[in-house]
Structure formats: structure tokens, C-alpha cells
A = this chain, B = another copy of it.
Amino acid sequence: MALRRALRLAVAVGRRGCCSQHPLPPILLQALRAVAGDPNVSVSAAVRQQHGHDESMHRCAPPDAVVWPRDVEQLQEMVALCHQHRVPMLPYGTGTGLEGGVNAVQGGVCFNLSHMAAISELSVEDFSVAVEPGVTRKALNAYLRGTGLWFPVDPGADASLCGMAATGASGTNAVRYGTMRPNVLNLRVVLPDGSVLHTAGPGRSARKSAAGYDLTSLFVGSEGTLGFLTQATLRLHPLPEAVVAAACTFPSVRDAVSCTVQAWGGNGTWMGRSMALGWGWERDSLSSIPSCLLPAELLDEVMAGACSRYSHLDLPEAAMLFLELHGSQRGLAEQQQQAEELVQLHSGSVLAWAWAPEERERLWTARHNAWFAALALRPGCQGYSTDVCVPISRLPNVVLETQRDLQDSGLTGPMVGHVGDGNFHCILVFHADDPAEAQRVHDFAERLGRWGCGSRRVQGSGDGPTGDGHIPVPRRALAAGGTCTGEHGVGLGKRALLREELGAVGLAAMRRIKDALDPLHLMNPGKVL
């Protein structure tokens, strides 16, 4: 119902359309300009429109003004002003989110944080660095060149690292290196009243702490609803000495997924089961595989074909895993052999090993372009991506049921997944103006876990604060003990499902935390809860 409404009726989200005049108190605008200077405060329709959406399908909801603070002190001043005038505030990084996180559904002031771009406190010995919101992951890794370190969390987009912290991003490397959560050591947060909170205490970067409540983890994934993340102290990782990648084909998605599940089990390490299966390898000789295979991505037959065509690779239209092995030159040869045996055990084969950086880059670019490759399957169509994550043991069944469901529904929904995490996406490509197809998409996504994220913006969210009284059908991922969102977040589109996933008490606890830290509900209102 919600999606259909969104697709068909373009229900307005928020209190204003895209081109309304800004209703901010003139005295507030004046005060903001006094703090940041005229050029850093804009109420132009174009600027507001540009800041009223992310990469998702949620309808553009422009803020009333956009400001560019230069530093944390300026940000604090402007936040205090908005707080004083009870005006909603929206943090804006790169606008590459997939859940409508920046859409100003209740208007207010958008804070574009790109001018705050300091990188500081690099400690090569401690593998840590502090970044401001204007620093993207690619910019940080460029900065780190020559240090032997990198920041591996990679959601695809060249997102703001603070934004990645805010949404709890993960991506292709998360099975090996973790999601954002374990990679953030400290956060400097500007709270809705303008005060500055250091989640682990000012200037602290100890590897572990038992000092009070874990505020860092609370703010990671809070999607801008509790405060502005204005600096993140990150955990860095050593660059691997050598890297080789490969695309492996399998007769079916089942074989590819089974290979994944058996390779790293639940937590990224080799499972005792491999011995029980009598594979004839010493377990430890294989234990080096999982730590290297981990950044493996599943592509189903349709997606493999789509990516191959879109990126001009010569890949067959078959279920695939993209693997990447890290190690020494010497060690990789052994790992390659083991990986090949493992793939063969699941009736697959390694197509070719990509050693040269440009070859690997080509493969991973194809993976990163999966979204556009999927859209190219049906030109002129819309797309959106599901984001369920299930316990690893449930993954093969959930994936296969989902594939069957796609077929039965007559839908185009190629599949990609960070399957070592139990997380996969169906990129549904459909005619938004075909009500029957839109309904099938909606029904499918309801059955899988949740409709609606990761698509080009067209229509409004159907899951607005008012709700529609729709009682969701049992969902496959939730029924399997999984979550409606492995990495994209809740944003606008999954609030109803969050209720279902957490239960009333869980949701009430989150609401109480929101009330405690943002009692006036000024921070990114209408999101998550």
C-alpha cells in the first residue's frame, strides 16, 4: 500500500512542496548570515532543491535554507540559533544516502558540512586519524597514501566519513574489516542545543574502554537524529602487501551462496565443518582463506549479465562470486590454490585472476556500478534496492525463496550481496507508471523485508508520520531472525518495519533516547522513529 501510494499518487511528504518560499524568521536568517557570512547562507530555490534529497526515491523535500559552517564553533553558533528559534536542523554530507536521510520533510535549516574538511591527529602507530564531515573516504585514503594504512569501509559511494558513521554504513569490505561501528573510536558531536559532546571524552582514542555508557556506538547509525557528527576518530588498517581478485562462476545461486556460507560461517572465520566434510585439508592451512576471501560479493545470473554488459566485461550470465585475496606475493599463490579447490567443491570455477591494480579496479568498478547496470536492463524504468540481512545459516534459503518469488512475480530484480554478512540487495527495476507492476514490486518487497530504498527519487514516501494503518504481512527476512536493513539505515522508508522488527518496547526505548538527547525533536525530524 505504502509503496503504491508513493508511486502512484506522489503523496506530499512534509509540509511544503519543492519550491515554496522559505518561512524562516527573518531574524534567524539575519543571525545565521551574521555568523557565517552572506555567501554561506542560501535560500535560493535551486540550492534548497539540491539539498532536499539524497540518492533515494523519496520525494525531494527542500530545507528552508542551507548553511555552510566553516568550523565547529560556527556550527555551534548556528545550531544554538536554530535551537532558540525551534527550527528543524538537517546535517548534510555528500547526499549519497539511500534512505532519504537528508530530506527536509519538516523544512528547517540544512547544514552542508563540506567546508569542515580537516584531517588531524593521524597516528600511524595507533592506526588512528580524526576527520571532519567534509572528508570523504576517497579523500582520506588519498591523504593516507604512503603511510601503509587505509580506511577500508566502502559503501560504494564516495561518501563523507562522518555521514558513513551517521548511517552506520558498511559495504563490500565489512565482513573483513567491520562496519563503521567498530571502526569509530570517538565522535565529536554538536548536540541540538549547540553544546559539544565527545562520545569517548575529549581527545581520547584508547582501543577499549569500560567508562560509562557507549555513547560512540549510540551515535553511529543515529542518522542525524541525535546531533551533528562533526569529527570522527577512526581506526585505520594496514594495507595488504599484495591483492588479487577473481570472478568465480557457479551453476546456481545456491552453489555460490553455499560456498560462501561454508567458507566463513557466521563470523568470518573458517569453520570446523570443513574438516568434518573430509576435505582433506588441515583446517589451519585453510584458515588463511577466509580472512582473504571475505570481501566476496554475490551476483546472481541476471546481475552478472547486466554488469558484464554495462561494464564491457566478458562475464558469463551465471551466478558469481567476486573474491579478493590479500597477503604476500608468496602467500597468495597458496591461497589461490585453496580458493580454487573450495570453489570447485561447490561446482564453480574461477574465471581469471586479476593481479594488476587496473584489472581489479575494472572488476570492482563493475560491481560498484551494479545499480546502473540493473537500471540499464530496462531503460526508462525506476529502480530501488532492498537491504535485508539474515543469520548466515538462513541465507541460502532466504536467497532462493527470494529468487523464486521474483520469478513468480514476473519482476526484474537482479541480486547483489555482501553474503559473508548475510546481507543482500535486490535492485528492483520497474515501470513506476504501471500500477500493476508497482503493486507486484510492493508485494514482493513486503514479503522480502521491506519496500523502498536506494532508488532515484520520484515520489514521496508512503511511510509518512501519519502511517496508513497497513498491517504488514509476515516478512521473509524478519521471520528468519534478520533485519530490514543491514546497512542502508531506516531513514524515511523503513520506520514501520523498524517497529515490527524491534517490537513496541524496543521502539519506545529508542524514542525515550531521542527525547532525552533531542527533547524538542529538532534534529532531522521524521527520520528513523
Cβ–Cβ < 8 Å partners of A515 in chain B: 516
Judge whether A524 is part of the interface by a CB distance below 8 angstroms.
no
1/0 per position for A151-181, CB-CB distance to B under 8 A? 0000000000000000111100010000101
Cβ–Cβ < 8 Å partners of A235 in chain B: 266-267
Cβ–Cβ < 8 Å partners of A114 in chain B: none
Judge whether A126 is part of the interface by a CB distance below 8 angstroms.
yes
**Do A509 and B197 touch (CB < 8 A)?**
yes
Q: Which of A258-283 contact B (CB under 8 A)?
A: 261, 265-267, 269-273, 282-283
Q: Are A261 and B209 also in contact (CB < 8 A) when A203-B481, A221-B214, A272-B239 are?
A: no
**Do A269 and B487 touch (CB < 8 A)?**
no
Cβ–Cβ < 8 Å partners of A392 in chain B: 125-126, 207
How large, as a class, is the contact surface on chain A? 35 or more
1/0 per position for A380-406, CB-CB distance to B under 8 A? 000000010111110000000000000
**Do B421 and A510 touch (CB < 8 A)?**
no
Q: Are A283 and B221 also in contact (CB < 8 A) when A197-B506, A484-B211 are?
A: no
Could you say which of B123, B209, B270 contacts A483, with CB atoms under 8 Å apart? B209
Segment at the B interface, from A33-41, A42-50, A324-332, A365-373? A324-332
Judge whether A284 is part of the interface by a CB distance below 8 angstroms.
yes
**Do A179 and B167 touch (CB < 8 A)?**
no
Judge whether A288 is part of the interface by a CB distance below 8 angstroms.
yes
Q: Are A210 and B489 also in contact (CB < 8 A) when A505-B195, A509-B197 are?
A: yes
Judge whether A206 is part of the interface by a CB distance below 8 angstroms.
yes
Shortest Cβ distance from residue A489 to the other chain B in the assembled complex, whole angstroms: 5
Shortest Cβ distance from residue A523 to the other chain B in the assembled complex, whole angstroms: 13
1/0 per position for A68-80, CB-CB distance to B under 8 A? 0000000000000
**Do B123 and A212 touch (CB < 8 A)?**
no
Query: What are 20 residue pairs bridging A and B, where the CB atoms are less than 8 Å apart in the complex?
Result: A125-B265, A125-B271, A126-B266, A148-B272, A167-B210, A170-B208, A201-B501, A201-B506, A209-B483, A211-B484, A211-B501, A212-B221, A212-B490, A213-B513, A238-B269, A241-B282, A242-B284, A285-B331, A513-B517, A515-B516
Q: Given A182-B182, A210-B387, list of 8 further CB < 8 A pairs?
A: A128-B266, A198-B505, A201-B503, A203-B481, A207-B421, A217-B217, A238-B272, A282-B329
Interface residues of A (CB under 8 A from B): 123-128, 147-149, 167-170, 174, 179, 181-182, 191, 195-215, 217-218, 220-222, 226, 235-242, 261, 265-267, 269-273, 282-285, 287-288, 327-331, 387, 389-393, 421-423, 481-490, 494, 498, 501-503, 505-507, 509-510, 512-513, 515-517, 528-529
Counting from the closest, the 10 A-B pairs by CB-CB distance are A284-B328, A148-B272, A217-B217, A127-B266, A125-B393, A516-B516, A512-B516, A209-B483, A126-B266, A168-B210
